[in-house]
Structure 1
Amino acid sequence: MSAAVMLSDVAKLVMGQSPPSSSYNDIGDGLPFYQGKTDFGATYPTPRIYCREPKKLAEEGDILMSVRAPVGATNLCKGRSCIGRGIAAIRANGIDRDFLYFYLKKIETYIDSLGSGAIFKAINKSQLAELPINEAGIPLPEQKKIAHILSTVQRAIEAQERIIQTTTELKKALMHKLLTEGLRNEPQKQTEIGPIPESWEVAELGEFFQIKHGFAFDGQFFEPTGKYILMTPGHFHEEGGFRDQGEKTKYFTGEIPKDYILAKDDLVVAMTEQKSGLLGSSAFVPEDRRYLHNQRLGLIVDLDGNRLSKRFLFNVFNLPHLRVEVAKTSTGSKVKHTSPTKLRAVKVGIPPTLEEQDEIATAISTTERKIGVATNKKTQLQDLFRTLLHELMTAKMRVDGIDLPLGTP
């Protein structure tokens, strides 16, 4: 086999075609119907709708590629499926299927660059057929070994994703139970915010703290590097907690007004819903005098530490009840906003002692640490996958030299 061949030389291509809309259903009648990247998962697509009158079919084991808005994303087909115009089925022939799948992942950015169109990007069958498969000349046994290694790391990534998903659901359930029932197995009493333990009080958040508005930093001083990071709602997880912005981090290089540099463990709240689910989310500042307090965030100040634990308050901000109340009084049609007055007016149930508050916060933080450990492992494995994908496919690293880290299945 030539060292440089085209995709059509090593695979059969089936371009999708949308069936009549009258044949769509969501009750499982017919074959799974995939339309594009929105149906894709980490490795396999998830059926959202089904089709009784398929026009074009993908078979079990086919590589599925998104060929319309966006272009180049890939998944593997679990079983016979109907594919619409946004999908191409690639059926390997004369090349290891998994090796080809990973090779297409390696050149995904290049494939995306081939897309064209006034409204959305797309590539046609001819463009797909002419994709260069530069590593097709690697002997088949070597292809299988490379694919096995990459599959092993990919399964390890998926295992961490399942741990994150399961532990996140556990955390939500635990938060709801502990922040509405407590730890003391007390009888419940009915209140205006629902049932809470008898010893708890219903109080407005404003009884315990003030909220300081941030500063409107001038955008002309934003840079990709610098000493000070502009903290924004993008630094918050929807369920609460700090999120590293990575390459999206904004640095501020202009003059900084007094008292707008945040301290480590300051508690801040998203006052603007930069994306769905962020309004009212809270996070602790991770470093001292590194992050700047901008106008889209509220800083908790003058907290009555004799009555309310900061760690407990962090979790209160992430209660579904509080988020609903904040959303009800928010303003803005496209981007929602809240204010210190509205946020402080929300009523919540408060345990009578700091000891119980901290016990609840500690129980919840245990699941947060598990999520953090799994997230770090996932990140490390993703970095490993990207390195191996490049090094193995370009023969910069040989299969026999691979020693996978402990923890990969």
Structure 2
Amino acid sequence: MSLLETDLGAARHWSRVGDGYEVTKKPRNLDRATLPEIAFAAMDAIPQDGTYMPAFALKAPSAIASGTYFERGDLLIGKITPSFENGKQALVQNLDADFGYATTEVIPLHPRTEEHDPRFLFFYLLHPDVRSYVAERMEGSTGRQRVPENVLLDLSIPAFRQQEQRRVADCLEMIQKARAAEMNCERLAQDLKRAAMRALFTKGLRSEAQKDTKIGPVPDSWNVVRLDECAKVVSTRMSYSELEALENEHNEDAISVLGIKVADMNLDGNEIRLQSAFLEKTVARSVVTHRCAPPRTIIFPKRGAAIATNKKRLSTGWTAFDPNVIGVLAGDDLDQDFLFQWFQAFDLRTITEPGPTPQLNKKNLDPLVIPVPPTLEEQREIVAVFDAIDRKIDLHRRKRTVLDELFKALLHKLMTGEIRVADLDLSALEPVKETEVAA
């Protein structure tokens, strides 16, 4: 059942957004020229990840030819497709001046009285049922549809009292802040990974002297070799479509094979694992070992716009590729995980054949020159450093995913009254004090 069809019970009722909010209008006597600069928020500056503040740019009044007037405390709602559907909205909590300007493609809403907490409406508008309801009532030509102001003002909203609005908003805000903290930690860990790559692929772990090579400085004991001298580029003799057409084998010799499409490169994490998102079939072992790519194959896009994403993944099982995917397998003297980490630092676009449909083939990959530590032991020591950072990145990513799911669940249950804030214990989400960190 949609949120908007929910019976809130005898003690609660539905109200209209317009009963508590109004569209902010520019005062007739406003003189912008009295200010040296005015905060301006373009559509690109309006967040869509549930954070409040837009990224303001300061502009001279004469530089603002058109825009939507708003005031401190306003909720800015992106009204054009797909901005509205994507959740583009902002809550102007902090502003040096009393007002600012934004793109003409937002609707500014201001609470009529202090009894209405704009954070409550901010979170309410993030509910997928609410967005779907409003999106169905957008007007205009295809691709340029917009949300009419009256649709927002007539939108039903639970008529919670001020204190309950504040409690619900505080609860959801706490989850969003925890999520933002995990995202920040993930970004910092990714920055650390990039710094570690720059250092380890040029200086190594042994603090030894460096030598200049065609790819820059590397440790003196390392070799610099072409990819085709230490690895091989592979496709699969069983195609994705052929695997898709096969019937599952049902015998002790059959093993699982994943069908990998180029879209699978966009999943989080470094590895492609068995999960419902993938095509999976059980195939006779004798067929698999001759026609499929083995576990731990490095996989990345070879054709089209997907190359620009620069994604690389490691398979965890036997795989069959679609025509837009290519793989690489290390030789006996090169650790596969070391090669994968090196590829993580390499920009595939630098070797792509240009054209309407970018291409990346074996002939582009074979001449690649890579730095190789002299022993598998040293290669694996370097991999261990990267793995530790990757585990940290994955931990924060998984925590963020859990918080996303918690937010979605509580957003619905708190708005319907199925759960009350008093019933929740969110103490685990409270920020850690500096003294606790030091301890």
On whether the aligned pair clears a TM of 0.5, the verdict is yes
Contact 1:238 1:278 in 2 (8 A): no
Contact 1:34 1:87 in 2 (8 A): no
What SS is found at the alignment partner of 2:201?
helix
The equivalent of 1:128 in structure 2 is 152
Verify: 1:13 aligned to 2:23, yes or no: yes
Q: 1:95 aligns with which of 104, 116, 121?
A: 116
For residues 31 and 368 of structure 1, what CA distance do their matches in structure 2 show?
43
The equivalent of 1:110 in structure 2 is 133
Report deviation, 1:45: 4.4
For residues 6 and 314 of structure 1, what CA distance do their matches in structure 2 show?
55
Deviates more, 1:204-213 or 1:233-242: 233-242
Deviation by residue 1:47-90 (Cα, 9 ceiling, x = unmatched): 37443235533223221111012225222224243112111111
Report deviation, 1:389: 0.2
For residues 170 and 251 of structure 1, what CA distance do their matches in structure 2 show?
34
Deviation by residue 1:303-330 (Cα, 9 ceiling, x = unmatched): 322x21111100111224xx2xx43432
TM score, norm. by length of structure 2 = 0.77
Task: In structure 1, give the amino acid aligned to 2:409.
Answer: T
Contact 1:98 1:147 in 2 (8 A): yes
- Identical-pair percentage: 23
The equivalent of 1:232 in structure 2 is 261
Matches within 5 A, 1:244-283: 249=277, 251=279, 258=288, 259-275=290-306, 277-279=308-310, 281-283=311-313
For residues 173 and 349 of structure 1, what CA distance do their matches in structure 2 show?
17
For residues 14 and 372 of structure 1, what CA distance do their matches in structure 2 show?
43
The equivalent of 2:213 in structure 1 is 191
The equivalent of 2:335 in structure 1 is 309
For residues 309 and 255 of structure 1, what CA distance do their matches in structure 2 show?
28
Structure ID, larger Rg: 2
For residues 392 and 245 of structure 1, what CA distance do their matches in structure 2 show?
35
Tell me the number of residue pairs that the alignment of Structure 1 and Structure 2 aligns: 382
Change (3 A) 1:271 1:38: farther
The equivalent of 1:298 in structure 2 is 326
Report deviation, 1:267: 2.8
The equivalent of 2:178 in structure 1 is 156
Report deviation, 1:244: 7.7
For residues 273 and 48 of structure 1, what CA distance do their matches in structure 2 show?
35
Task: In structure 2, give the amino acid aligned to 1:235.
Answer: D
What SS is found at the alignment partner of 2:52?
coil
Change (3 A) 1:246 1:402: farther
Runs (5+) with no aligned partner, structure 2: 1-10, 27-32, 246-255, 432-439
For residues 128 and 217 of structure 1, what CA distance do their matches in structure 2 show?
46
Change (3 A) 1:228 1:385: farther
Change (3 A) 1:221 1:350: closer
Runs (5+) with no aligned partner, structure 1: 17-22, 24-28
Change (3 A) 1:309 1:254: closer
Task: In structure 1, give the amino acid aligned to 2:343.
Answer: F
For residues 278 and 305 of structure 2, what CA distance do their matches in structure 1 show?
15
What SS is found at the alignment partner of 1:235?
helix
Q: 2:101 aligns with which of 74, 77, 82?
A: 82
Task: In structure 1, give the amino acid aligned to 2:132.
Answer: T
Change (3 A) 1:333 1:244: farther
What SS is found at the alignment partner of 1:317?
helix
Q: 2:315 aligns with which of 267, 285, 303?
A: 285
Q: 1:347 aligns with which of 369, 373, 376?
A: 369
Verify: 1:47 aligned to 2:78, yes or no: no
What SS is found at the alignment partner of 2:72?
coil
For residues 372 and 208 of structure 1, what CA distance do their matches in structure 2 show?
30
Task: In structure 1, give the amino acid aligned to 2:60.
Answer: R
The equivalent of 1:206 in structure 2 is 228
Report deviation, 1:104: 1.4
Report deviation, 1:370: 0.3
What SS is found at the alignment partner of 1:388?
helix
Deviation by residue 1:194-239 (Cα, 9 ceiling, x = unmatched): 11111112110110121211354339959xxxx8653123333699
TM score, norm. by length of structure 1 = 0.83
Change (3 A) 1:251 1:332: farther
Contact 1:15 1:88 in 2 (8 A): no
Change (3 A) 1:376 1:211: same
Deviates more, 1:205-214 or 1:260-269: 260-269
The equivalent of 1:241 in structure 2 is 270
For residues 392 and 335 of structure 1, what CA distance do their matches in structure 2 show?
48
Contact 1:261 1:292 in 2 (8 A): yes
What SS is found at the alignment partner of 2:24?
strand
Q: Considering only aligned residues, what root-mean-square deviation do their CA atoms show, in Å? A: 3.2
- 4+ long deviations beyond 6 Å: 243-247, 252-257
What SS is found at the alignment partner of 1:114?
coil
Change (3 A) 1:239 1:11: closer
Contact 2:241 2:322 in 1 (8 A): no
